[in-house]
Amino acid sequence: MRLFGIETEYGITRDDLEEVDPVVESMELVRAHLTASFERRWDYGGEDPHEDARGFRVSGLAQDKEEDEFAKADAHRPFSFHEMKSDLVLPNGARFYNDHTHPEYSTPECRTLKELLAQDRAGERIVQRAADRRNRSLGGAHVQLYKNNTDFHGHSYGCHDNYLVSRSIPFPRLVAGLLPFLVSRQVIAGAGKVGVEAQESGFVPGAYQLSQRADFMETELSVDTMHNRPILNTRDEPHADRGKYRRLHLIVGDANMCEYATALKVGTTMLVLDLIERGAAPSLELDQPVAAVKQLSRDADLKATVRQKNGRMLSGLEIQEQYYDAARRMLAGTDPESDWVLREWGETLRWLARDRSRLVGKLDWVTKQWLLETFVREERLGWDDPWLASLDLEYHNVDAARGLHRGLEAEGRAWRMTTEADVERALSAGPGDTRGGLRGLCVRRFSDQIVGMQWERIQFAGGVLRKALEMGDLFDPDEVKVCTGIFEAAASPAEALAAWTQRKDSRS
């Protein structure tokens, strides 16, 4: 039962204004994707971030207070909350909307790493094309977008990886198995960062570190995402049959430009979830996980060690090696994709220990460090020079004409799993074996008859429950393909739903 996706909040700037209103700019960017007027279709009724996976419901979140304050501040605006969100579901099954101060793109649900990379790259193209349209209306390339996690002024925005997990796995077992892995995952998936930053003290230039999100981790477990940010988010919002599934919502990770880093980040996490399900995860327990995240991030030489509760000291590489060894012993031969992840995971850990230059173009923190070291040497700068923060930011610019990573890719120096054909296909269609692709198909064929959408439901015009396509338990790839075929052949949603209902009734 392998299903995953990525939500990316993009940094946004506008260089022709002294003061930028990110709420308006993010809304205008999302609206620039449209060729017609905005129509609200996303149904927020199915979203409830107050449910905690530890078995209780929180009465309030830090973000609730912030949203109330935002609402007061936004009272003067000539648009409603939902108009501001401008929530769109795209023909590839993705969701594109304004997360108040950042444009956010959520991939459709994916079953393979190559599909995920293609859909993630499609998101980069979609947000950049919206920026191009917006800039044409402004008369210049004023709006710039960054696939990163910090503005270097004490603010962080997220890149969240999500996984469908069986609810039969006790949540405490997930926590025990995941925490040490997530603390150390930055050695392969960190985006790299110049300086140190905090919401309270702002940005302090200086030493290079592995991760952009590490500075902003504040607790081990929490249902919050905007304040008191946790290594492991406990939000219990499955977007699926609650009796069968969880959605593991991880906010600790960085946004990656390198396809290889994204593939390893998600692929290794899937293998660790497989280990946890089998009761075979390494028995590790860190003494202070939050301090460990920062400590490991701030040592780009990978020599720093963190204490376990048994007193033993381990480096980030050593923690990763324990997970890798367990996965190799237990999961080798499971399927070709798992074997690819195991092979590349092991090779990456070896090159990190011996010669990380072999990973330029594959891991973001290594690639960015190489670029910045070259610049520092040629320009004879110190690592506290503010120029480096600007270069750091430009590494993540998604504009092919300006982004430093995009330049490396154009030169053939960045590893790719996807082809341009893969990305172009992902712009117009979702995965054919997940409900994400089915959602996109309904948008393409029956957009004018859709009155409400959630991740797990599409409500068609008619106002009765039988007019809804329920997808809370539609995860079997063969069943998805059958349902997709029915909706492709039907002349109307009503005809498709009748045929799909008849099939389900005949099989029950």
Q: How far is it, in rounded angstroms, from Cα 228 to Cα 76? A: 29
Residue 195, SS3 per DSSP: strand
Cα atoms found within 13 Å of the Cα of residue 345, Cβ hemisphere only? 31
Q: How far is it, in rounded angstroms, from Cα 359 to Cα 339? A: 20
Tell me how far CA of residue 453 lies from CA of 40, 84, 237, 373, 504, in angstroms.
10, 18, 16, 48, 22
Tokens 């341009």 -> residue: 420
The b/e string for 368-393 (b: 16+ C-beta within 10 A; e otherwise) is bbbbbeeebeeeeeeeebeebbebbb
Residue 465, SS3 per DSSP: helix
Q: How far is it, in rounded angstroms, from Cα 332 to Cα 246? A: 26
Query: Which amino acid does the sequence have at 37?
Result: S
Residue 96, SS3 per DSSP: strand
Active site residues: 99
Q: How far is it, in rounded angstroms, from Cα 142 to Cα 73? A: 25
Structure tokens belonging to residue 176 = 């025990």
Pairing relation of β-strands 219-222 and 230-233?
Answer: parallel
- The phi and psi torsions of 386 (rounded to 5 degrees) equal -60, -20
Q: How far is it, in rounded angstroms, from Cα 486 to Cα 497? A: 8
| 11: Cα separation from own chain's centroid | 14
Are 371 and 363 contacting, i.e. CB atoms less than 8 angstroms apart? no
Tell me how far CA of residue 361 lies from CA of 273, 364, 415, in angstroms.
27, 7, 6
Tell me how far CA of residue 247 lies from CA of 88, 162, 178, 455, in angstroms.
22, 6, 14, 12
Q: Where would I find the beta strands (DSSP E) of 308-393?
A: 313-315
Q: How far is it, in rounded angstroms, from Cα 202 to Cα 217? A: 15
- DSSP code at position 490: -
Query: Which amino acid does the sequence have at 195?
Result: G
Structure tokens belonging to residue 139 = 């008369």
Structure tokens belonging to residue 184 = 């150390």
Q: How far is it, in rounded angstroms, from Cα 295 to Cα 284? A: 17
